[in-house]
Amino acid sequence: VMVLGGAIGEACDTETRELARIHAQVRAQSEEQSGRVTEIAGHLTGRRVVDIDVGGAFATLASFRVVDVRSYEEFVGELGHIDGARLETLADDVARRLGDLPRDTPLLFVCRKGGRSARAARLALDAGFSDIHNLLGGMEAWNDARLPVVLSGRAAPSTR
């Protein structure tokens, strides 16, 4: 019975890991497709979200209001967040939640990989905001470049 219980436990662990891998893969594909849809919408309407790489974003960071659209768990999680970022999850009505800001406020939208932030940036553009940027590669690219992040409530260099 003990051997059987151990085998079942190992099988469950293997299945759980496989489901987590599939979930991460589907999320990455979804974010990529979301970015493509946003790009197409910009071409059709003539109003575009400006994609910016991490180097450009970091060099001009002081000029932006940073809007992080990840979940709270991601915001405080292993990738951290950009110091001063405002958390507005996509589950919220992003454009309405930003209604307190002047429509010409330079906004930099951020997520894990750049897909959700592209979608949120497009929503802000549609709501009348005019200076909209999307961080290419999101917080994964920011961490890969070893740029500073806030981890557990304190600023720290990226450890990824």
Domain count, the chain: 1
The reported pTM is 0.70
Is the Cβ–Cβ distance between 154 and 160 less than 8 Å?
no
Which residue from 84, 81, 95 is spatially nearest to 156, judged by alpha carbons?
81
SS3 14: helix
Using one digit for the tens of pLDDT, what is the confidence trace for 104-145?
999 999 999 999 999 999 999 988 999 999 999 999 999 999
32: domain CATH number is: 3.40.250.10
What pLDDT does 159 receive?
A: 43
Q: Residue 130: give the domain boundaries.
A: 2-156
